[in-house]
């Protein structure tokens, strides 16, 4: 095996997804803790005095106690090089999560043991299923009162149409939660000391047949229940099939508590063994082998002003094949320009370190002088590739923004354009209107608040916002002159910053009516960048 193959095969790149408050960011912190990337896990709380999670680096995230933007976290553990993509759980930032999932080879789905599957979990699972990527389930908060583990697994199977295989099994829940049974090792891990912030958790490992010791430790009732559960699982459950796991048809399920470190290390070991190294990606319909092709990557995220002192823009690239080398010349396929990437960076949320090389599966950040767009391909000059674009989803809420201070036109235009290039918002204008206001479309209304906050803090520009009564948007795909269209009063023709023509509608009923009034008009629900 070559050094290149060895480096690529030890990479693991995955996204962590969940509904808000299921414990996703807490689990991420604990994985970093076990990897030695941090010394003390932070809590995600909306208090100025509290320690904040490493992955929540944006100031508004720390104030609100939620994840607003995806974070990239890389660390070494047990011979693996791990790239974690920590995604926003809040539905108003779901488009950022959709794009981030395009860069992942597998996903960890965190579920609250008391609440089960929630709306945002359903949406994110569908994106994973669409790409057939392996899904691992961590059922969290077993240290609180929870639903039956059987009910939770049945809900997973019914909702998502996949099989489940419990890799471990909880012993009690809430105040009775005594630990977990590791099905692979056939051992009970009964925890005897709790410490949420550090790695030092003491556990007693006992075989299931050590009756007296387990009865004393767990109590006769919990021990008897555990024996019955294990017998039922071994006799009536799915057989474990690694191929089904890697095709996304069987989800390994882990029970535990991220906050109290119950089951986290066991989960990490099993996950790293079961999940895949970097997978092939499609370039113009053909699979690109990560180990056999020279360097190639695609941009899945752009973030402005990560360093407030330098007002810089970072393009996040997922390396799809080969080995990246610093200071080499590569081709930016969309522009046809040859570029030299002189300061590639490895990420730990907002912290960065200049690197000299990286491999397929890694996520790197490069300085963006304004040439990159989400979905762009970068590759060697000799082997031209072009990865499939990342869909732009239709926004559902619209508002008009204008600056309060007429002297700050440049700051306003620069700020709103740069934030739009990150993909979190979409901006439009009404052609020939003469208005200086910008129409902003978002998936969730909380994005408006983030936009106002960032314009004020990062670009020193305060704005006025006027909500608009539109609910739907469609891209015009036919050769139609939009200025000649017959539109109702609650419809509007707009253009995006690339010059594409679109229509805004006040209600979904208006879309077929508009097409009926304008024969030959063809509309699309989303656009590929």
Tell me the CATH architecture of domain 281-379.
Answer: Beta Barrel (2.40)
The torsion angles phi and psi of 405, rounded to 5 degrees, stand at -95, 115
**Is residue 447's pLDDT more than 60?**
yes
48-62, 156-170, 457-471: the lowest-pLDDT one: 48-62
Residue 115's Cα: distance from chain center in Å? Answer: 21
DSSP bridge pairs for 387: 283
Rounded to whole angstroms, the Cα distance separating 135 from 106 reads 6
**Is residue 96's pLDDT more than 60?**
yes
Give the ranges where 65-118 is alpha helix by DSSP (H).
94-101
**Is residue 233's pLDDT more than 70?**
yes
Higher-pLDDT residue of 528, 352 = 352
Q: Residue 10 has what pLDDT?
A: 96
**Is residue 205's pLDDT more than 50?**
yes
Predicted TM-score (pTM) of the model is 0.78
**Is residue 198's pLDDT more than 70?**
no
Q: Residue 207 has what pLDDT?
A: 72
The torsion angles phi and psi of 48, rounded to 5 degrees, stand at -65, -30
Tell me the CATH architecture of domain 13-69+105-274.
Answer: 3-Layer(aba) Sandwich (3.40)
Three-state SS for 182?
A: strand
Q: Is the dihedral of CA 254, 256, 259, 262 positive or negative?
A: negative
Task: Take residue 436 and report the two structure tokens written for it.
Answer: 């200086």
Rounded to whole angstroms, the Cα distance separating 164 from 138 reads 12
The residue among 389, 362, 388, 390 whose CA lies nearest residue 287 is: 388
451-461: pLDDT as tens digits = 999 899 889 99
Q: Residue 497 has what pLDDT?
A: 83
What is the share, in percent, of the chain residues with pLDDT greater than 70?
85
In the structure, what pLDDT confidence band is assigned to residue 61 with cuts at 50, 70 and 90?
very low
E strand spans, 192-267 = 203-207, 250-255
Indicate the DSSP class of residue 257. B
9-18, 54-63, 177-186, 326-335: the lowest-pLDDT one: 54-63
The superfamily in CATH containing domain 393-528 is Peptide chain release factor 3, domain III (3.30.70.3280)
CB of 16 closer than 8 Å to CB of 27? yes
**Is residue 418's pLDDT more than 50?**
yes
Q: Where are the domains of the chain?
A: 13-69+105-274, 281-379, 393-528
Mean predicted lDDT score pLDDT of the chain: 84
| Lookup result for tokens 């408050």 | 21
Task: Take residue 356 and report the two structure tokens written for it.
Answer: 């000299």
In the structure, what pLDDT confidence band is assigned to residue 306 with cuts at 50, 70 and 90?
low
CB of 515 closer than 8 Å to CB of 491? no
Higher-pLDDT residue of 323, 194 = 323
Q: Averaged over 273-288, what is the pLDDT?
A: 92
Q: What is the DSSP string of 68-136?
A: -S-EEEEEEETTEEEEEEE---SGGGHHHHHHHHTT-SEEEEEEETTTBS-HHHHHHHHHHHHHT--EE
């Amino acid at each position: 095996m070559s050094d290149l193959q060895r480096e690529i095969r030890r990479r693991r790149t995955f996204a962590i997804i969940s509904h808000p408050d299921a414990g996703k960011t807490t689990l991420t912190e604990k994985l970093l803790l076990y990897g030695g990337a941090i010394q003390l896990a932070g809590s995600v709380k909306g208090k100025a005095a509290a320690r904040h999670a490493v992955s929540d680096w944006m100031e508004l995230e720390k104030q609100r106690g939620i994840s607003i933007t995806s974070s990239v976290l890389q660390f070494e553990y047990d011979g693996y090089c791990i790239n974690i993509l920590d995604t926003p759980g809040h539905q108003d930032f779901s488009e950022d999560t959709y794009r981030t999932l395009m860069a992942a080879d597998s996903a960890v789905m965190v579920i609250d043991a008391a609440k089960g599957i929630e709306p945002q979990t359903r949406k994110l699972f569908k994106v994973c299923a669409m790409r057939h990527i392996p899904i691992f389930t961590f059922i969290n908060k077993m240290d609180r009162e929870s639903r039956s583990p059987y009910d939770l697994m049945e809900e997973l199977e019914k909702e998502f149409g996949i099989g489940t295989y419990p890799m471990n099994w909880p012993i009690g829940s809430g105040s009775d939660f005594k630990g977990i049974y590791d099905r692979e090792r056939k051992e009970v891990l009964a925890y005897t000391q709790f410490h949420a912030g550090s790695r030092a958790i003491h556990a007693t490992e006992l075989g299931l047949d050590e009756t007296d010791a387990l009865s004393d430790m767990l109590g006769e009732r919990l021990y008897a229940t555990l024996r019955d559960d294990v017998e039922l699982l071994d006799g009536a459950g799915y057989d474990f099939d690694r191929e089904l796991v890697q095709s996304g048809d069987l989800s390994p399920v882990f029970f535990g508590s991220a906050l109290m470190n119950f089951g986290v290390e066991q989960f990490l070991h099993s996950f790293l063994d079961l999940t895949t190294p970097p997978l092939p990606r499609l370039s113009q319909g053909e699979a690109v082998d990560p180990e056999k092709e020279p360097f190639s990557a695609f941009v899945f995220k752009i973030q402005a002003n990560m360093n407030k002192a330098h007002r810089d823009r970072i393009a996040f690239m997922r390396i799809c094949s080969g080995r990246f080398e610093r200071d080499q010349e590569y081709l930016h396929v969309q522009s046809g320009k040859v570029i030299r990437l002189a300061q590639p960076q490895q990420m730990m949320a907002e912290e960065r370190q200049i690197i000299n090389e990286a491999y397929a599966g890694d996520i790197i950040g490069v300085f963006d002088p304004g040439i990159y767009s989400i979905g762009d391909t970068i590759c060697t000059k000799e082997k031209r590739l072009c990865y499939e674009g990342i869909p732009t989803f239709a926004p559902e809420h619209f508002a008009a923004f204008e600056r309060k201070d007429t002297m700050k036109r440049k700051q306003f235009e620069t700020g709103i354009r740069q934030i739009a290039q990150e993909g979190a918002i979409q901006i439009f204008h009404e052609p020939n209107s003469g208005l200086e206001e910008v129409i902003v479309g978002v998936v969730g209304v909380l994005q408006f608040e983030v936009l106002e906050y960032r314009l004020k803090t990062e670009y020193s520009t305060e704005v006025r916002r006027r909500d608009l009564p539109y609910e739907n948007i469609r891209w015009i795909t036919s050769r139609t002159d939009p200025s000649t269209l017959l539109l109702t009063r609650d419809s509007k023709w707009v253009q995006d910053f690339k010059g594409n023509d679109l229509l805004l509608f006040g209600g979904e009923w208006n879309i077929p009516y508009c097409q009926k009034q304008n024969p030959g008009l063809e509309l699309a629900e989303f656009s590929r960048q």
